[in-house]
Amino acid sequence: MAAISGDSVFSHICLGANDLDASTTFYDAVLAPLDIKNLGPFGDSIVLYGKDKPALLVLKPSNGEAPSGNGVTIGFAASSQAGVDAFHAAGLAVGGTCEGKPGPRNHLPDAYAAYLRDPAGSKVCAYTFASA
């Protein structure tokens, strides 16, 4: 398996959310420990997140149907194990569901991660490869 680099292959990612207020509360909480900011609304149905430019768009599906991401996981980079722990704790505090407690992941050297489901049911995680 190739080493994981800091270069992204994505221009952006969209996650559907019929309850944009609940999802904004969730993502504001879980992304803050990862230094990812709420960059504000884009119209009345999209909230933009990123470090210096929009990279994650949380939005109401344009067709009005429930979001469906079964089998999809969005992984966020954390700079430390403490960041992963904070991501997970923040998500649980605002109504996220635990999908994998913070801890080592044996499939890659030094992998440490935590998994959550957001209010719309999307699966997200935070990963670091930095040792404690």
Q: Mind listing the domains of the chain with CATH numbers? A: 13-60+72-128 (3.10.180.10)
Can you tell me the mean pLDDT for 31-51?
95
For residue 59, the number of C-alpha atoms closer than 13 Å in the C-beta half-sphere is 16
Predicted pLDDT at 2: 44
CA 100/CA 56 separation, integer angstroms: 22
What's the pLDDT at 67? 79
**Arithmetic mean of pLDDT over the chain:** 90
How confident is the model at residue 101, as a pLDDT? 98
The rounded distance, in Å, linking the Cα atoms of 46 and 24 is 10
Q: Tell me: the pLDDT tens digits for 52-68?
A: 999 999 999 888 887 77
